[in-house]
Amino acid sequence: MTPTVKKNSEIVKDRLWVNDTKATNLDATIAALKRYKDSHIHLILGGDDKGVELNQLFEYLKTIDVTIIQYRFK
């Protein structure tokens, strides 16, 4: 776990909550998810995709135990 992630992690009710503020691009997001690939992940996704092709992320998500939560900005 990187120092930034460790600083933004907390255990609440036997669940690890991670705010990976460095996972703001495709490669960093996939790398962050790989750290927890053996656990069930609740992933909050949202924001501007900045024109990036996200198929690589969606293909990786098919290989892990993940629940996706869509965050919409108002």
- For β-strands 66-71 and 9-12, DSSP reports them as unpaired
Quick check: 20 and 5 in contact, CB under 8 A? yes
Residue that wins the pLDDT comparison between 73 and 16: 16
| Domains of the chain listed by start with CATH number | 3-71 (3.90.190.20)
Q: What is the pTM of this model?
A: 0.75
Q: Tell me the pLDDT tens digit for each residue of 16-66.
A: 777 776 667 888 889 889 988 999 998 888 877 788 899 999 999 999 999
pLDDT value at position 66?
94
